C-alpha cells in the first residue's frame, strides 16, 4: 500500500536575501525526518508522509507559513482527524494561513 502524503504547495515565494532563502530551505527538514521537497517552476512542493507528521513538525510548518506568509490550505485534508483538531483554533496566529 502506498504511503499517504501530505502535499504542501508554496506558490511564488519571495525571499529578501540569499540568507533568507537558505534559512527557508534549512527549515523544511525540521518538519519531519521523512520530508522531501522540490521546486517546480514558481512553486515549492513539500511532501510529508502523514505517518511521520508529529505535533512539533506541524508547529514548525505553521510557523513557516506565518513567517513566510504562505497559505496552508493543503492542510484542510487533516480536518476532522482527532489528533489534528488543535490546529483549527481560530484564536491561534496561524489560523489565517489555513
**pTM, whole model, 2 decimals?**
0.82
What are the φ and ψ backbone dihedral angles of 43, each rounded to 5 degrees?
Answer: -120, 150
Q: What is the pLDDT of residue 2?
A: 54
The CATH number of residue 16's host domain is 3.30.70
Find the domain containing 64 and state its range: 5-97
**Number of domains the chain is built from:** 1
Percent of the chain whose pLDDT exceeds 70:
97
Q: Hey, what's the cell of 63? A: 510557523
List C-alpha distances in Å: 29 to 34, 49, 60. Answer: 8, 13, 10
Q: Could you read off the pLDDT of 2-41 as tens digits, one per residue?
A: 568 889 999 999 999 999 999 999 999 999 888 999 998 9
Amino acid at each position: 500500500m502506498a504511503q499517504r502524503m501530505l502535499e504542501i504547495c508554496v506558490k511564488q515565494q519571495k525571499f529578501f536575501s540569499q540568507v533568507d532563502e537558505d534559512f527557508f530551505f534549512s527549515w523544511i527538514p525540521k518538519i519531519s525526518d521523512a520530508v522531501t521537497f522540490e521546486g517546480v517552476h514558481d512553486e515549492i512542493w513539500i511532501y510529508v508522509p502523514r505517518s511521520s507528521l508529529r505535533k512539533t513538525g506541524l508547529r514548525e510548518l505553521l510557523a513557516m507559513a506565518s513567517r513566510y506568509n504562505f497559505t496552508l490550505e493543503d492542510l484542510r485534508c487533516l480536518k476532522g482527524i482527532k489528533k489534528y483538531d488543535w490546529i483549527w483554533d481560530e484564536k491561534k496566529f496561524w489560523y489565517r494561513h489555513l
